[in-house]
Amino acid sequence: MSTTTTAAAPANRAGGASTTRRERRRILLGTGVGNAIEWYDWNVYVVFAPFFAAQFFNSDNPVSALLATLAIFAVGFVMRPLGGFVFGWLADRHGRRLSMLLAISLAAVGSLMIGLSPTYASVGVVASVVLLLARLLQGVAHGGEIAASHTYITEAAPADRRGRWASVIYVSGMGAVLVATLLGATLTGVLSESELYAWGWRIPFIVGGLLGIVAVFLRTRLDETEAYTKVQAEEGSAGVRPSLFRGMWDNRASVVQVMGLTIGGTVFFYTWAIAAPAYAISVKGVDPSAALWAGVAATALLIVLLPFAGALSDRIGRRPNFLIFALGGAAVTFPLNRLIQDEAWQLLVAMSIALVLIAFVVSMMPAALAELFPTHVRASGFAVPYSLAVAITGGTAPYLQTWLSSRGQGDLFLGYTVALLLVTAVTVMLTPETKGKPLE
């Protein structure tokens, strides 16, 4: 199936106004399942970090091994901008569908590398290098997934339902986080501590790699979006293909806005939606199984809320959703952290409050950011600055929080979080409303 010319494009292209109910289900399923596998591969790392850290680094100092493991988590984020650029270029030049297929394949390879890797005890520093390479691959893949799938779902959705459709990105993503956390809670219950630390941690990574095959199959059944094929036809008729670099420069205000809109949400999201159970286990001394089950319950609440929050943005606009999150998050950052002591119920309450606020922003963010750019540069235009912002603030969040807390300076991290949330709030006020905007 060609993705570069209208002559070879499928008769039924993905688009909100021209697709049947069956085709819309296929779009949502193919986008959502593939995105879920990417998220699962990416976030299972954080969930199981306390269990496998000593398998890749010197186990004489468990805290040092955990920090090294989290540092590699952060390094994986460094590759996201590269993935956003490479796969964004593929999506803008050769189609959203091809870019999504390649991204999910690369992520699955990275997951299998971790699951099948030798340990530090058997090969020394080679194990650490394998872990690093696997995370770099997954970083590139996740940056590519963002470029392709966020753009695809935005272009495929009806104009008045983009926020609701976009919520499938985080419904599937957080569903994957839920599965990863649930798997962690289950394994801590059925395996002995020695079994979990010795080999049980490998199970989720191997499962993630195998499930990638399912995602690839589902995505081969997707058609290219109508918006993309229309622009390709226009460029073909004119004999002109605009430079991606020029397109990003022409839309430089949107590039800056993407970064400002992203930094606050990213650090808050990774702190509460991803790393909170591991932080509670390692720093606060919460029972591992109980902490993971608290994460499961809070994540389930977020998943339920996401479609409603996305639909709300279709009604009242993207800007109000952003402001509710950014100002609310700034107000509760210090109180929620103080709430967590050494009991799992405290973690559950704090995570639930944080995730309610997060629902307002992540539900519609894929659409809100993609709507800022024209079609010919949409995937690379928002994916590169988005990935840069995530790499700088999201990838470093678990490490900074754990390191500063271990030094008794946890309030510095909280102040940093509040400052970024306020930057996001200011950016919202300087960004135009895009609800229902025609995709040019």
For the stretch 139-198, pLDDT in tens is 888 888 888 899 999 999 999 999 999 999 999 988 887 888 778 778 877 888 788 878
Q: What CATH number is given to the structural domain containing 392?
A: 1.20.1250.20
Higher pLDDT, 313 or 229: 313
Q: Residue 440: inside a domain, yes or no?
A: no
Q: Residue 4: inside a domain, yes or no?
A: no
Report pLDDT for 58: 63
Number of other CB atoms surrounding residue 75 within 10 Å: 18
Structural domain containing residue 295? 21-429
Q: Which of 222-226, 268-272, 293-297, 425-429 has maximum average pLDDT?
A: 425-429
Q: Residue 87: inside a domain, yes or no?
A: yes
240 has pLDDT over 70: no
How confident is the model over 100-114, as a mean pLDDT? 89
Q: What is the pLDDT of residues 347-374, one digit of tens each?
A: 999 999 999 999 999 999 999 999 999 9
Q: Residue 2: inside a domain, yes or no?
A: no
Separation CA 177–CA 183 (nearest Å): 10
Query: By percentage, how much of the chain surpasses pLDDT 90?
Result: 35
Report pLDDT for 17: 52
Domain count, the chain: 1
Separation CA 350–CA 268 (nearest Å): 12
7 has pLDDT over 50: no
Q: Residue 38: inside a domain, yes or no?
A: yes
Residues 6 or more apart whose CB falls under 8 angstroms from that of 331 comprise: none
Query: 261: exposed, middle or buried (C-beta count within 10 Å: 0-12, 13-18, 19+)?
Result: buried
Q: Are 43 and 274 in contact (CB under 8 A)?
A: yes
Report pLDDT for 405: 82
b (16+ CB within 10 A) / e for 268-301: bbbbbbbbbbbbbbbbbebebbbbbbbbbebbbb
CA dihedral 310, 316, 320, 325 (to 10 degrees): -30
Separation CA 325–CA 273 (nearest Å): 14
Q: Residue 11: inside a domain, yes or no?
A: no
Q: Residue 131: inside a domain, yes or no?
A: yes
Compute the mean pLDDT over every residue in the chain, rounded to the nearest whole number.
Answer: 85
For residue 413, what pLDDT band results from cuts at 50, 70 and 90?
very high
Q: Which of 60-64, 387-391, 427-431 has maximum average pLDDT?
A: 427-431
How confident is the model over 227-244, as a mean pLDDT? 73
Separation CA 229–CA 156 (nearest Å): 12
The lowest-confidence range among 61-65, 280-284, 429-433 is 61-65
Separation CA 54–CA 198 (nearest Å): 10
Report pLDDT for 318: 97
214 has pLDDT over 90: no
3 has pLDDT over 50: no
Q: Residue 8: inside a domain, yes or no?
A: no
Residues 6 or more apart whose CB falls under 8 angstroms from that of 415 comprise: none
For residue 346, what pLDDT band results from cuts at 50, 70 and 90?
very high
